[in-house]
Structure 1
């Protein structure tokens, strides 16, 4: 049988996932020494594919990868047909509405302009509030938009809030917490259920153990 294939989001989520795999006894030396390779064998009967976040979803949706690790931010923005089966507990941040310090974003009746790398998330958030807004998609440093007068506020990923503070912005409201998630192709979940459940059970036990250790430290 062909290896169970899992797509990992390159960068920090890749590193955290490899750490998790090693914690459950999977040999990830090929990924540690990958060079320029993008498809790598790990452990027995498992293969890793390294990809950008949005592509992880695409590969899982189309069944060329059985599983994937991707941030909840990408899932919320891109959507797709797959099972989201496990919160991996790392890559934590949050979606937030942010604007200039001291501004009263929700006052008045005029339509607001929002800048964001995540237009779908922004639209969904303001639809839930029945607010009339215009969203402008920004690819780079979204914090520039209100500073230049392009938007009244931004919807973006926030980790520490340092970048916002340094640019005279502050969180107005948290939209949603974000972390890395394990997703599974719908057909793979039926055809390779035993293998997938065996792997995900091990991952889940390790995630829970790490969570308990964090709570004890805190």
Structure 2
């Protein structure tokens, strides 16, 4: 049987028509579920006598990767005037005034069992809109991402820290966690450290893997 020649354009169209495996991002937190008892607050004008405030939530369903979320705001320095965290309209709002802007920590997998297979993804991602950068003067927030894989004596934990200054989308490649088994992720933690600057405000959204 004689084979007919196939043009390059026809071949390209044929390849596009073939079924492919769709890649779906994993939601880590879409911030659709608010904090259970209103804003978290610390600082001299907060009415909170402690240097930290925390909200631990379970039964969050598919709004977080693990069904749970632990939100912690702290000011160990005791220099904050009023720092607060709220979650509404699919955003986490972090607001501070004078003094230290403190530290925000989000944890997933601390309260409920997390066995996430992220092997098909390549990075963590989020969107941020804040006032960390103003012309030639920047007030960086240092983000530390902690990932754990495995359980018990076989668990492996690894961290990566980077600077967050400008608004927009940030990605943190999985290549920074070369000791982690991304087929069995058991803890994710995101720490935003603004303790060395003051007056930091930002909105965090679309925390996910890609």
Return the index of the structure with the highest Cα Rg: 2
TM-score scaled to structure 1, two decimals? Answer: 0.25
TM-score scaled to structure 2, two decimals? Answer: 0.25
Higher helix share: 1
